[in-house]
């Protein structure tokens, strides 16, 4: 079936995960630890953060998870019981870091503008907070070309559940079989499969081809290769 709509993951797909959030993660953890070196070291450990390289290891829950989940883990590492407040603080600090650290993958603006002009309905579905998704879409200049932006707190569940894709389907009027989800994690691909959408894996995030390919309908190096793939679908 021809594709009529494309839903993009954000981090690792439109935004370079390591170059953006790797360095930012160090500063956020330092801030959250509030000068307590032992607390900082616990955050580094539970977050699976590579201190030397300033990146998150592939096993880190930060890569595809939501702050509502890793907020609990961070709160425990910090000896705090206000899990929701910790999650909110994490979101706020990472949004602040994005103002100076944001690094796109390829040229999202050029790509989405072209796809929009071709008639595709476009959206972002991220396990980040909705406010962060809007902030970073604005920073990339792509908001005018998007029909839909949702985060983990938008009321549609989170990936790997299919709720975000189902909501995009309702919003655009396109059946999931005509929708592709483009993402760099198994959460993205499983969400696409659960919704009956086309699963397109990009290798621009931490996951490897071997990990993603068995769960994807198509595998490309990055969003820069998407136009060529669409021409042959």
Task: Please tell me the least confidently modeled range out of 27-31, 69-73, 114-118, 189-193.
Answer: 69-73
Q: Residues 133-151: what's their mean pLDDT?
A: 98
**Are the C-beta atoms of 133 and 149 separated by less than 8 Å?**
yes
Q: Looking at residue 178, what is its pLDDT?
A: 98
The CA distance from 153 to 122, in Å, is 20
Q: Is the pLDDT of residue 220 over 90?
A: yes
Q: Residues 103-125: what's their mean pLDDT?
A: 98
Q: What residues does each domain of the chain span?
A: 5-16+104-231, 18-101
Closest Cα to residue 125, out of 188, 189, 176? 188
Q: Is the pLDDT of residue 28 over 90?
A: yes
151 pLDDT tier (thresholds 50, 70, 90):
very high
CATH 3.90.1010.10 is the classification of domain 5-16+104-231:
no
pLDDT cut 90: percent of the chain above it:
86
Q: Looking at residue 32, what is its pLDDT?
A: 95
Q: What mean pLDDT value characterizes the chain?
A: 94
pLDDT, one tens digit per residue, over 56-110 is 998 898 887 778 788 899 999 999 999 889 989 999 999 999 999 899 999 999 9
Tokens of 39: 């607390």
181, 130, 64, 95 alpha-carbon torsion, rounded to 10°: 130
Burial of 220 (0-12, 13-18, 19+ CB in 10 A): middle
Q: Looking at residue 64, what is its pLDDT?
A: 77
Q: Looking at residue 25, what is its pLDDT?
A: 92
The CA distance from 45 to 100, in Å, is 26
39 pLDDT tier (thresholds 50, 70, 90):
very high
Eight-class DSSP state of 127:
S
Tokens of 155: 């009321």
Q: Looking at residue 155, what is its pLDDT?
A: 96
Q: Is the pLDDT of residue 142 over 70?
A: yes
Q: Residues 155-169: what's their mean pLDDT?
A: 97
Q: Is the pLDDT of residue 1 over 70?
A: no
Number of other residues whose CB lies within 10 A of the CB of residue 40? 20
Q: How far apart are the first and last CA of the chain?
A: 8
Q: Looking at residue 67, what is its pLDDT?
A: 80
Number of other residues whose CB lies within 10 A of the CB of residue 140? 19
Find the DSSP H helices in the chain: 17, 23-33, 37-46, 67-78, 83-101, 108-117, 130-140, 163-172, 186-195, 209-212, 226-231
The CA distance from 42 to 163, in Å, is 34
pLDDT, one tens digit per residue, over 170-210 is 999 999 999 999 999 999 999 999 999 999 999 999 999 99
Q: Looking at residue 68, what is its pLDDT?
A: 77
Q: Looking at residue 23, what is its pLDDT?
A: 87
Q: Residues 9-23: what's their mean pLDDT?
A: 94
Kindly report the pTM of this predicted structure.
0.92
């Amino acid at each position: 079936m021809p594709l009529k709509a494309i839903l993009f993951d954000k981090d690792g797909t439109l935004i370079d995960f390591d170059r953006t959030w790797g360095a930012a993660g160090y500063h956020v953890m330092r801030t959250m630890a509030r000068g307590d070196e032992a607390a900082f070291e616990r955050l580094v450990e539970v977050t699976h953060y590579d201190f030397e390289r300033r990146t998150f290891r592939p096993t880190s829950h930060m890569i595809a998870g939501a702050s509502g989940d890793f907020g609990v883990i961070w709160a425990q590492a910090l000896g705090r019981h206000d899990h929701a407040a910790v999650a909110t603080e994490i979101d706020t600090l990472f949004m602040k870091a994005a103002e100076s650290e944001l690094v796109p993958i390829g040229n999202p603006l050029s790509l989405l503008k072209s796809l929009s002009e071709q008639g595709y309905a476009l959206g972002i579905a991220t396990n980040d907070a909705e406010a962060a998704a809007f902030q970073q879409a604005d920073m990339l200049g792509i908001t005018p070309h998007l029909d839909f932006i949702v985060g983990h707190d938008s009321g549609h569940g989170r990936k790997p559940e299919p709720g975000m894709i189902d909501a995009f389907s309702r919003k655009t009027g396109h059946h999931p079989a005509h929708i592709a989800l483009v993402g760099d994690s198994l959460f993205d691909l499983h969400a696409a499969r659960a919704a009956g959408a086309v699963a397109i894996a990009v290798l621009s995030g931490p996951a490897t081809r071997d990990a993603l390919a068995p769960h994807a309908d198509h595998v490309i190096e990055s969003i820069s290769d998407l136009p060529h793939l669409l021409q042959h679908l």
